[in-house]
A and B are shown apart, each in its own frame.
Chain A
Amino acid sequence: MNFATRAFFLFLLVVLLVYHSLRQRQHKYLFLLLASWFFYASWNPWFIGVLLVPTLIDYTAGLLIEQATTLPRKRLWLTLSIVGNLGLLGVFKYTGFLVDNGLSLIRCLGGQVPSWTVELILPLGISFHTFQGISYTIDVYRGKIRAVPRFVDFALFVAFFPQLVAGPIVRAVEFLPQMTEPPPVSGTQVIEGLHWFVLGLFKKVLIADRLAEFMDPIFQQPELYDAATLRWAILAWAARIYCDFSGYSDLAVGCAKWFGFELPLNFNFPYLSESITEFWKRWHISLSTWMRDYLYISLGGSRQGVLRTCANLLATMTLCGLWHGASWNYVLWGFYNGVLLVVHRLYDHALEGVPQSTVVRRHLVYRLFAWACTFTLVATGLIVVRAQTWNGCWLMEKALLGLGTSEGLRMVPLWVPLLIGLVVVGHLYSGLKNVRCQLLLWPEFPRAAVYVMALALIVVFGPGSTKAFIYFQF
């Protein structure tokens, strides 16, 4: 059940009506849990097992960690929880990748191996809910939160349907305190819920899905097009992936508000970043902070010298790439981002204490240059993820750097720059003023008019069949 479909709207309406008509805490949460499980099972009933197993493991591990009186015991239960979650993730997400590469390696070494491959269905959102479970047991281990005594509460924390399949990755410390009593829904939440829901739909249905129609064929066969069209396709891809994923996060935030829950911010105008470090503080925030808190810091963070810090950054980002997808494209993309972070860190380090460096770095010309460099570097990485072949990837990279050919088809409909322009305007209008969304500050009448107009545009100009969210595959 995709978010931007009639079936989901109907499901949401029914769940909201029943949830708010129930009075008792346990009834409300039990109903919401069952609804969330139904939502998950609607993709494939077998997925429920993949959700239930880690839920049971983490719930039990949390209780055992809290009850354990010695550190080794606590560590044992924590290890079991982490191994259980990562094991499940590994089996479903990486088995095929490992087997394929293992067989290829044997073939390269001259070995005789059968030509079969392993293909397992990847359960939706497995990367998200397993990370959520791991963060819970680690937080219980670190004493940041108490273990949840009621299974229904814990299961709901893992399965809460607005964020179940594509995040944001909600931390137990953020969500569980909200669950003490069913939070009452305030008027502000109703309005803000509408705001984020409409904005999310607009980004997904009108911008991301429409841009997909333009850029998909170009990425499929880039050799047919001239460099200018390829550059537009790269811009469209950057705008699309942002609108697709942040659109999903907005929808999740909006839905959660209608149940009285607050979900964390996941995107903060990432394309305004003036460095790659800043980019990762603005893009998929719930994942990057998860990686920082549970992996980078656990590896030693920046406490053990420059070399070790660089190694930690590279390892964290390469694993972050692998988390996104079981293919060499993603591994390379993660490693590439790790290298960029290391270079930026060393650059920062080198400039520390240099006179006038702060003044220069605050100058508008320097900031514009830094922004242009950052965006180009980010786009370079995004091409690696999306390209179908390494040859196509090279063609796109050349076009991005202004080295492409002027021969080939030129085909950029008027609406492509228009839609990309909307993303730019959104970034400049709200991002530069450092507010989550400037529209929220508008007077009621023009704001309502914008919602009506946005909804009308979504209904009329959205593609007939909505494409699945890109981040579902992760």
Chain B
Amino acid sequence: MDQGHTSSRRRRLRLLLYFVLGLLLVDGVVRSQEDRWRRCDPDDYQFRLEGCQREHWDLVLVGSSVIAESADPAILRGLSWEGHPLDKVYNLGLPGATTSEVWHAVHHGLVHPPRVLVYGITASDLNGSRNEPHGPSTLMTWSDWPGWLQQRPDAAWWCTRHLVEEQLQQCWGLYRYRNGIRLWSALQLERCWPGTCPDAAAEARGGVQTTAALRRPDGYAPNPTFQTMRFDLRKASGWDGEPFQFLNNYSIGTHLNYLDRLIVWARDQQVRLVLVDMPVTDDLEGRRNPAEFRAYRQALRKRVASSGVSLLTAQRDRVGLTNADFADLIHLNKSGAARFSSWLRQELEHLSPPGARP
């Protein structure tokens, strides 16, 4: 009787053991193929961060999508700084990022401090009502958490929740890469039996293309849709622009503390930090959100005055931009990006310390 009981207990334990081992095995297989899943479901923050960490850059451009779309490293490459060309230029633009994300990207991405760091900033970067979940999940580690609690106590619970969720996801590869596995499977199924899951397969193909673009050595991967769009033509056809939610409930909040940290970091690392007040359409800053832009510029100027950091104001007329150079309310298209990059190159060369200029 006892023996039978013990053997049935052993059998049950064996099942549990097999179950746990099975889960570990699946996890191991999934992790060993992670590049396959990531290619179908790219995390742009992670790709850009990894690209930045790989090398020692001379000039790094950071900011939100306004910099990701507008600053072409190919045009900026070779600009003269203190008598030497800046040959290695990287675009670390993070779509949707606020100043908090920019700080964490700089903190973790710039393993070797560059000579010049350009931060293309705009009003939405400082909006205290905004929190970008990508930050805690991709750019932050637990070592950043106490700093966040100190700098942004208003968003402490939000950050903690996202950080914990991310850490838990990292424990289980299958869960973490579930979307990538699903898309990859759809791609394979669609190859064997066309018409099985066309939507998912199209999404996967889009992901693979984005991954290829994100893996460009200089990090510049503008959105193909923005490249060809023209704001003036869209307006002429009666379109009045989609709601721009990034300035909703605008308040200059605690993101500003991370701007201070960035300034201090640059000083400590002897990196020349240049802030660029990015160009946006007149529709956005003049018509839709004038009060928000006024508040932002006031806060920015105050910080610049107290810290001595260089500020370049990329006003549309100074850069030579019209609505034909914008894709939408805030992003530049291909011609706009070329124009802005050339202007930035010129301005940076002027900023270079005079004694050292060739």
Give the B-binding residues of A (Cβ under 8 A).
Answer: 187-188, 190-191, 194, 413-415, 444-445, 447-449, 451-452, 455-456, 459-461
> Chain B contact residues: over half helix, strand or loop, or mixed?
helix
Mind listing 27 A-B residue pairs with CB under 8 Å? A187-B8, A187-B12, A190-B12, A191-B12, A191-B15, A194-B16, A194-B19, A414-B193, A415-B196, A444-B11, A444-B14, A444-B15, A445-B18, A447-B15, A448-B19, A448-B21, A448-B22, A449-B18, A449-B22, A452-B22, A452-B23, A455-B23, A456-B26, A456-B174, A459-B178, A460-B181, A461-B182
- Min Cβ gap A216→B in Å is 16
- Min Cβ gap B246→A in Å is 24
Enumerate chain A residues within 8 angstroms of B26, measured Cβ to Cβ. 452, 456
Knowing A451-B22, A456-B26 touch, does A187 contact B9 (C-beta < 8 A)?
yes
- Min Cβ gap B164→A in Å is 10
Enumerate chain B residues within 8 angstroms of A190, measured Cβ to Cβ. 12, 16
- Min Cβ gap A445→B in Å is 6
Does B295 touch A at the CB level, under 8 Å? no
Does B142 touch A at the CB level, under 8 Å? no
- Min Cβ gap B127→A in Å is 27
Enumerate chain B residues within 8 angstroms of A445, measured Cβ to Cβ. 18
Known: A187-B13, A451-B19, A460-B178. 14 other contacts (CB 8 A): A188-B12, A190-B12, A194-B19, A413-B195, A413-B197, A444-B14, A444-B15, A448-B15, A448-B18, A448-B21, A455-B23, A459-B175, A460-B182, A461-B185
Give the A-binding residues of B (Cβ under 8 A).
Answer: 8-9, 11-16, 18-19, 21-23, 25-26, 174-175, 178, 181-182, 185, 193, 195-197
Knowing A460-B174, A460-B185 touch, does A415 contact B197 (C-beta < 8 A)?
yes
Bound Cα distance A448, B193 (Å): 31
Enumerate chain A residues within 8 angstroms of B174, measured Cβ to Cβ. 456, 459-460
Bound Cα distance A448, B18 (Å): 6
- Min Cβ gap B163→A in Å is 15
Bound Cα distance A191, B12 (Å): 7
Bound Cα distance A134, B350 (Å): 85
Enumerate chain A residues within 8 angstroms of B16, measured Cβ to Cβ. 190-191, 194, 448
**Candidate in B8, B15, B185, B196 with the most chain A CB atoms within 10 angstroms:** B15
Bound Cα distance A190, B9 (Å): 11
- Min Cβ gap B197→A in Å is 7
- Min Cβ gap A474→B in Å is 32
- Min Cβ gap B26→A in Å is 6
**Candidate in B9, B18, B197 with the most chain A CB atoms within 10 angstroms:** B18
Bound Cα distance A415, B9 (Å): 39
Bound Cα distance A191, B11 (Å): 11
Enumerate chain A residues within 8 angstroms of B15, measured Cβ to Cβ. 191, 444, 447-448
Bound Cα distance A188, B11 (Å): 10
Q: Which residue of A lies closest to B9 (CB)?
A: A187
Enumerate chain B residues within 8 angstroms of A415, measured Cβ to Cβ. 196-197
